[in-house]
Amino acid sequence: MIKIFRFSNDGFKPQFQSNLKEHSEHTLENLLSLIPENNEYLKNLVVRGFTTPDENFEYEGIFVFLIKPSIEDKRYFLNHLDNIENIKLNEAFIKEYAICYIDDGTVYNKENKILIKEALDKKINTIYIPKSQLFKIVKNKTLNFRP
């Protein structure tokens, strides 16, 4: 069993990740069309950084930490929300063979799909767990978060 942490007032309830869905729907051609024709440098950056989403990626799931987050992590990862001081930290254990995706900006990339145990072994701190894997969570509770 591997301990996971999540900032949420809904515990480990999955959410539809509309930002991931919108981001993944951009095609390479669409992105390149937004760049001025004479900017080869930027075009090359986009081509090198572009990834095709995993065709089986589930856009409903949760982002979690594998290492207990600090108050700085809370501020950084929740900077898009209001009243973050009221958001609770939840803790649970999940079976080590659960599938997750490395949270590196292109979460939905097929190459980011690994077992949670592998993510922990590689010292990866933030991951995305698809809804279909959440049944592998056991013993969850809300913690009193203290920085």
Question: What are the Cα distances from residue 59, in Å, to 20, 24, 73, 90, 104?
Answer: 7, 10, 23, 21, 16
Confidence of residue 77 (pLDDT cuts 50, 70, 90): confident
**Rg of the chain on CA atoms, in Å:** 17
CA–CA separation, 126 and 7 (whole Å): 12
State pLDDT tens for residues 80-96.
Answer: 888 888 889 999 999 99
CB 140 within 8 Å of CB 90 = yes
Instruction: Give the residue from 88, 81, 120, 106 showing the smallest Cα distance to 26.
Output: 106
At 29, the amino acid letter reads E
The pTM score is 0.79
Strand pairing category for 89-94 and 60-65: unpaired
State pLDDT tens for residues 50-66.
Answer: 667 788 889 899 999 99
